Amino acid sequence: MDVLAIIHGESVRSGVFGDVVRERGHGLEEWSLAWNTPLPKPVDAYGAVLVFGGAMHADQDLHHPWLREEGFFLQRLLDLHLPVLGICLGAQLLAKAAQATVQPASEFEIGWFPVELTDAGVEDPVLGRLPQTFEAFQWHYYDHGIPAGGVELARNRICTQGFRLGENAWGVQFHFEVDAEGVDASDSSANMNFNSTQILSVAFDDIAHTITIVA
């Protein structure tokens, strides 16, 4: 299976996601609409799509015109029911593509912050692998609403931290794709009470299981 990774800058790549995809014997192709190059292969040739973060904001279409095109692309993914997972900016763009609001957060989050799964999150096949409460690495100034028909899976006192739309689309505000080299090696990192690589491994297996059901 080939997995498409949509990236938004050289410093925000696939992280441990890429490691897990390859360990499972799948191919990973990174691509950005900002490159103004064609998609490497037809979209329906991919078994799953991962949408990562970036330094820009989801409403900055005037500064980054390709964001509008990415919104249309994400709408197409949703229409095709391709398994898709958005992280941080990727989650915001996914929510926006599904007609949810995206706006500056009441407070920005940079560093490690507590997150709690909702009841729906505890039962979710992907985020349900996480502890019900945990510290997560954050780096965002915006938040988003929950798309119509979507289910909130995780939150904290500031904003929604995770949602699922239908059976194939997930958005996660916090960064669980980063590895130790992706964040400052500070004392706060010791508060992390789960191993993101292990959880991602299981989460990707669950997404792959979803793919087989859809197929």
Looking at the predicted structure, is the pLDDT value of residue 155 above 50? yes
Provide the pLDDT for residue 14.
Answer: 73
> Residue 76 belongs to what domain range?
2-214
Confidence band (pLDDT; 50, 70, 90) for 112?
confident
Identify whether the C-beta of residue 135 lies closer than 8 Å to the C-beta of residue 193.
yes
Residue 182 pLDDT exceeds 70: no
Paired sense of beta strands 102-117 and 84-87, if any: unpaired
Distance CA 57, CA 92 (A): 9
Assess contact for 136 and 183: CB atoms under 8 A: no
User: Alpha-carbon dihedral of residues 33, 36, 37, 41, nearest 10 degrees?
Assistant: 30
- Cα angle 68, 52, 19 (rounded to 5 degrees) comes to 150
CATH number of 204's domain = 3.40.50.880
Count of structural domains within the chain: 1
Band (41; pLDDT cuts 50, 70, 90): very high
- The angle subtended at Cα 4 by Cα 110 and Cα 113, nearest 5°, is 15
Please give the Cα distance from 89 to 71 (Å, whole number): 12
Q: Are 82 and 43 in contact (CB under 8 A)?
A: yes
Q: What is the mean pLDDT of residues 99-112?
A: 93
Q: Is the pLDDT of residue 194 over 90?
A: no
